[in-house]
Amino acid sequence: MKTLEKVIQSCISNGEKAFVPYIMAGDGGLNVLNERLLFLQELGVTAIEIGIPFSDPVADGETIQQAGERALANGTTLRKVLDTLADRSDKVTVPLVIMTYLNPVLAFGIKEFVERCVGVGVRGLIIPDLPMEESGMLGEALVDVDVALIPLVSLTSPEDRIAEIVSRAQGFVYAVTVNGITGVRNSYSETLEAHLERLKKLSPVPVLAGFGISTSTQVVELGAHTDGVIVGSAIVDAFHRDDLDLIAELVQQATSHIIL
Dump pLDDT digits (tens) for 210-242: 887 877 778 888 888 899 999 988 999 999 999
Amino acid at 178: V
Do 214 and 237 contact (CB within 8 A), yes or no?
no
> Does some domain include residue 14?
yes
Query: Catalytic one among 60, 115, 144, 146?
Result: 60
pLDDT grade for 142, boundaries at 50, 70 and 90: very high
| The total number of residues written for the chain in this structure | 260
Give the CATH number of the domain where residue 66 resides: 3.20.20.70
Q: Is-catalytic flag, 129?
A: no
Rounding to the nearest 10 degrees, give the CA dihedral for residues 108, 75, 146, 113. 10
The pair phi, psi for residue 259, each rounded to 5°, is: -110, 145
Residue 133 falls inside a structural domain: yes
Q: Is residue 175 part of a domain?
A: no
In a domain, 160, yes or no: no
Residues 69-107 have pLDDT tens digits of 999 999 999 999 999 999 887 889 999 999 999 999 999
Answer yes or no: is 178 within a domain: no
| pLDDT value of position 94 | 96
Residues of the domain holding 14:
3-150+216-257
Examine residue 180 and state whether it is found in any structural domain, yes or no.
no
Residues with Cβ < 8 Å from 32, sequence gap 6 or more? Answer: none
- Total Cβ atoms within 10 A of residue 113: 24
Residue 202 lies in a domain: no
Share of the chain above pLDDT 70, in %: 93
| Contact status, residue 177 vs residue 155, Cβ threshold 8 Å | yes
Whole-angstrom Cα distance, residue 127 to residue 141? 15
Task: Report the pLDDT averaged over residues 193-207.
Answer: 92
Q: Give the pLDDT confidence of 24-51 residue by residue, as tens digits.
A: 999 999 999 999 999 999 999 999 999 9
Count structural domains, the chain.
1
**Is 207 domain-assigned?**
no
Specify the pLDDT at position 257.
Answer: 52
| Mean pLDDT over the full length of the chain | 89
In this structure, of 62-76, 146-160, 175-189, 195-209, the range with the lowest mean pLDDT score is 175-189
Among this protein's residues, is 193 annotated catalytic?
A: no
Kindly tell me the burial class for residue 154, based on how many C-beta atoms sit within 10 Å of its own C-beta (0-12, 13-18, 19 or more). Answer: middle
Residue 183 has pLDDT above 70, yes or no: no
| Selected catalytic residue, list 49, 112, 129, 221 | 49
pLDDT at res. 62: 86
